[in-house]
């Protein structure tokens, strides 16, 4: 068994773990990232493509924004179209003075890997059997195997950034952990197509189900349709996908959508999930390891970045001032923003999707939610603030 030491052992090399490692490095705090999969696998995952204003600020603050500022598309908001009702624009620019950014989160992960490799960051890929030890003590450690060899890393803190299926969350004893969950009976079937996208990002409500138009770059579009979660990719040949998508948009918009052969197709189940607290002794959870949102609102990566913002600040206070108070309040502070995003994603999901067991009462409530948005400036303003992302707390 080999042994080494670092200040922060980070489990998981997704956006949360890699951003944490980058930020800590910028503040002179060293870390080792342990990732179970290969780098190629991590970078091959296709993720949502809208960034909150605060995420854009963080990327700029930490010199990760060059490609995004060159190739991403700033957006004033997102459109909702609704069968038989007027369109609505979530006018983030008007109500908050800020913009969002259409920029694929996969590109951010690529830029994070490039930055860490340029700075000589320690990233162990294909790390097997990762296990956490003594996180409730002052001397935690993490063990793993690679190529048949066992390794152990002694550290001051363990950052659990290993996503929903990771091991970190399980290191918090059951009686100390509380989980909150909603699962939805449908998923988002998404495709990528090499055709110019529509100018706007658009969510479409239709009595057959939701559809969405998004984008990655001037020659790459991303589209989704709500589909039963039990459907398989094989049930959705391209022709069926396009027929369904186009039937859910108003004719005028459908006429502008450029279809073509899909270059990627995947089904994402929808889930809302929060595990509290985010800290147990010297273990600190961030990102999908602690919470999942449905894709409606695209909050997943944005929340991971906001966790890392608070967490990295807490670790800086510890190393620079020798004070633990920010570590102690990390969980409560991050959870306020997490629950705000859970709330928005859940409300938007309920408003824009058709649920198999719903009745006419549910439908009238949905329509009245939308009508309130169409007519009430305070409702428009509130939604714009939530959609752009709440400000970070001091
Ligand atoms: N040991 C080491 N690594 C692990 C383990 C383990 N036992 N289990 C999981 N991992 C790795 C996964 O392989 C993955 O690369 O942890 C990483 C977790 O990454 P994500 O699942 O992407 O989670 P996170 O980094 O929190 O990303 C947050 O980014 O793209 C968005 O919407 C997406 O919500 C998601 C957000
Ligand atoms: C995407 O671009 O993939 C996307 C955009 C907005 C969402 C979800 C996904 O709400």
Taking only the tens place, the pLDDT of each residue in 14-63 is: 999 999 999 999 999 999 999 999 999 999 888 888 999 999 999 999 99
Interval 369-392 mean pLDDT? 97
In ligand 1, which atom is closest to the CA atom of 12? Answer: 16
Domain housing 308: 2-74+101-181+271-380
Give the CATH number for residue 27: 3.50.50.60
- With H, G, I as helix, E, B as strand and everything else as coil, classify residue 273: strand
* Cβ-count burial 154-190 (b if 16+ within 10 Å, e if not): ebbbbbbbbbeebbbbebbeeeeeeeeeeebebbbbb
Q: Which of 19, 287, 295 to mutate to test the pocket of ligand 1 (most atoms within 8 A of CB)?
A: 287
pLDDT at 49: 87
Please report whether residue 79 resides in a domain.
no
Please report whether residue 335 resides in a domain.
yes
Interval 201-209 mean pLDDT? 98
Q: Which two tokens stand for residue 312?
A: 């990295």
Taking only the tens place, the pLDDT of each residue in 141-163 is: 999 999 999 999 999 999 999 99
Please report whether residue 190 resides in a domain.
no
Contact 32, 122 (CB under 8 A): yes
Please report whether residue 21 resides in a domain.
yes
Whole-number CA gyration radius for the chain: 21
Please report whether residue 282 resides in a domain.
yes
Does an H or E element contain 79, and which? strand 77-82
Interval 270-298 mean pLDDT? 97
- DSSP string covering 30-63: -EEEE-SS-HHHHHH-----EE-HHHHHHHHHTT
- With H, G, I as helix, E, B as strand and everything else as coil, classify residue 96: helix
Residue with tokens 């959705």: 236
In ligand 1, which atom is closest to the CA atom of 106? Answer: 30
Residue nearest to atom 6 of ligand 2 (CA): 298
Contact 31, 123 (CB under 8 A): no
| Contacts of 162 by beta carbon, 8 Å cutoff, 6+ apart | 11, 12, 14, 17, 36, 130, 168, 289
**Ligand 2 near 49 CB (within 6 A):** yes
Residue nearest to atom 4 of ligand 2 (CA): 48
Angstrom CA distances, 251 to 84, 209, 247, stand at 12, 16, 8
* Number of compact structural domains in the chain: 1
Please report whether residue 252 resides in a domain.
no
Give pTM, 2 decimals.
0.97
Of 79-83, 103-107, 384-388, least confident by mean pLDDT is 103-107
Please report whether residue 218 resides in a domain.
no
In ligand 1, which atom is closest to the CA atom of 167? Answer: 7
């Amino acid at each position: 068994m080999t042994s080494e030491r670092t200040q922060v052992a980070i489990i998981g090399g997704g956006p949360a773990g890699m951003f944490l490692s980058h930020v800590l490095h910028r503040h002179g705090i060293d870390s080792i990232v342990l990732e179970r999969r290969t780098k190629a696998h991590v970078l091959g995952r296709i993720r949502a493509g809208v960034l909150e204003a605060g995420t854009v600020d963080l990327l700029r603050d930490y010199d990760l924004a060059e490609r995004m500022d060159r190739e991403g598309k700033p957006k004033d908001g997102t459109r909702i179209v609704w069968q038989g009702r007027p369109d609505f624009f979530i006018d983030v620019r008007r109500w908050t003075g800020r913009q969002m950014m259409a920029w694929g989160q996969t590109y951010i992960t690529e830029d994070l890997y490039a930055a860490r490799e340029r700075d000589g960051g320690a990233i162990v890929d294909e790390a097997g059997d990762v296990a956490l030890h003594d996180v409730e003590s002052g001397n935690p450690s993490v063990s793993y195997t690679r190529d048949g060899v066992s390794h152990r890393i002694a550290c001051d803190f363990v950052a659990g950034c290993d996503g929903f299926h990771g091991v970190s969350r399980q290191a918090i004893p059951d009686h100390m952990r509380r989980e909150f969950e909603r699962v939805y009976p449908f998923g988002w079937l998404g495709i990528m197509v090499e055709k110019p996208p529509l100018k706007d990002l658009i969510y479409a409500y239709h009595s057959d189900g939701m559809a969405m138009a998004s984008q990655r770059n001037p020659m790459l579009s991303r589209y989704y349709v709500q589909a039963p979660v039990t459907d398989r990719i094989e049930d959705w040949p391209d022709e069926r996908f396009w027929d369904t998508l186009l039937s859910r948009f108003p004719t005028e918009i459908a006429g502008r959508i450029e279809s073509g052969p899909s270059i990627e197709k995947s089904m994402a189940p929808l889930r809302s999930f929060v595990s509290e607290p985010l800290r147990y002794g010297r273990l600190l959870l961030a990102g999908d390891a602690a919470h999942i949102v449905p894709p409606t609102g695209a909050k997943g990566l944005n929340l991971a970045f906001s966790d890392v913002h608070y967490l990295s600040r807490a670790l800086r206070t510890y190393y620079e001032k020798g004070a633990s108070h920010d570590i102690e309040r990390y969980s409560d502070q991050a959870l306020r923003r997490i629950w705000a995003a859970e709330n928005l994603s859940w409300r938007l999901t309920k408003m824009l999707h058709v649920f198999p067991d719903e009745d006419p009462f549910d439908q009238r409530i949905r329509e009245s939610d939308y009508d309130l948005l169409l007519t009430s400036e305070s409702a428009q303003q509130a939604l714009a603030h939530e959609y752009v992302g709440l400000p970070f707390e001091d």
